[in-house]
């Protein structure tokens, strides 16, 4: 007769074992955060718009918010796909793996704040670096989940090497590109924003170009 594992409460052996529930809360949080992003696109106040040219100027002033909204929607979409890809490859979950992904979701909930900060202070290096740090933490948490799944044997044994190599390559290459984009703020934060948008579009569209398709 096998003896119960000592040193760990039995409850912790059962907790956080449902992949379906983890995916469900992830979907909900991503959906809410994606919706919150649009709140940064405020309709111009009627009191300040008397003519067509006034409205045009108000819309031009809204451009930083529109660009960061588009960029952050892509960011959330890319990381949602990344998380769902990882969850679809593991055979089971456990308490530690679930909490790693909850930490990932904590970083997800900060994206609307980071977006609002960058939209309002799009000229600021501090705001740009804060946005990049949010992306960096998202990537780090996803990689931590994959590395833990590797050590805990949560991936299918027959495909584990292929899966972990693919995840590592994607995270390392993406984070390197984001780092290079962030460093462009030394010259101008708008260069950084433009390059981040280009990186996001590449990952969203996945063009059939050999070099880009492998990133």
Q: Is the pTM of this model over 0.85?
A: yes
Is residue 153 in a domain? yes
Is residue 126 in a domain? yes
Q: Cα separations (Å) of 139 from 24, 77, 80, 121, 175?
A: 20, 13, 11, 24, 7
User: pLDDT tens, 45-68?
Assistant: 777 778 888 888 888 888 999 999
Domain with 156, as residue range(s), is 17-213
Give the other-Cβ count within 10 Å of 133's Cβ.
14
Number of domains observed in the structure of the chain: 1
Is residue 43 in a domain? yes
- String of b and e for 45-70 (b: at least 16 CB within 10 Å)? eeeebeeeeeeeeeeeebebbebbbe
Is residue 182 in a domain? yes
Mean pLDDT throughout 14-21?
82
User: pLDDT tens, 64-82?
Assistant: 999 999 999 999 999 999 9
Is residue 139 in a domain? yes
Task: Give rounded-to-5 percent helix, strand, coil for the chain.
Answer: 80, 0, 20
Is residue 105 in a domain? yes
Q: Is the model's pLDDT at 203 over the cut of 60?
A: yes
Is residue 35 in a domain? yes
Is residue 5 in a domain? no
């Amino acid at each position: 007769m096998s003896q119960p594992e000592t040193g760990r409460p039995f409850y912790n052996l059962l907790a956080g074992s449902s992949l379906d529930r983890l995916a469900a809360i992830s979907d909900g949080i991503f959906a809410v955060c994606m919706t919150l992003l649009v709140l940064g696109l405020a309709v111009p106040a009627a009191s300040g718009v008397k003519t067509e040219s006034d409205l045009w100027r108000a819309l031009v002033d809204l451009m930083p918010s529109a660009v960061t909204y588009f960029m952050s929607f892509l960011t959330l979409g890319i990381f949602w796909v990344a998380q769902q890809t990882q969850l679809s490859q593991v055979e089971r979950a456990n308490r530690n793996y679930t909490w790693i992904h909850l930490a990932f979701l904590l970083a997800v909930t900060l994206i609307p704040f980071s977006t609002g900060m960058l939209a309002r202070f799009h000229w600021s290096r501090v705001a740009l670096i804060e946005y990049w740090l949010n992306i960096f933490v998202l990537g780090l948490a996803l990689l931590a989940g994959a590395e833990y799944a590797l050590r805990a044997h949560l991936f299918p044994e027959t495909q584990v090497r292929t899966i972990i190599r693919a995840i590592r390559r994607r995270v390392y290459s993406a984070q390197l590109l984001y780092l290079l984009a962030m460093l462009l703020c030394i010259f101008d934060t708008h260069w950084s924003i433009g390059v981040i948008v280009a990186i996001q579009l590449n990952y969203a569209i996945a063009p059939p170009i050999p070099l880009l398709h492998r990133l």
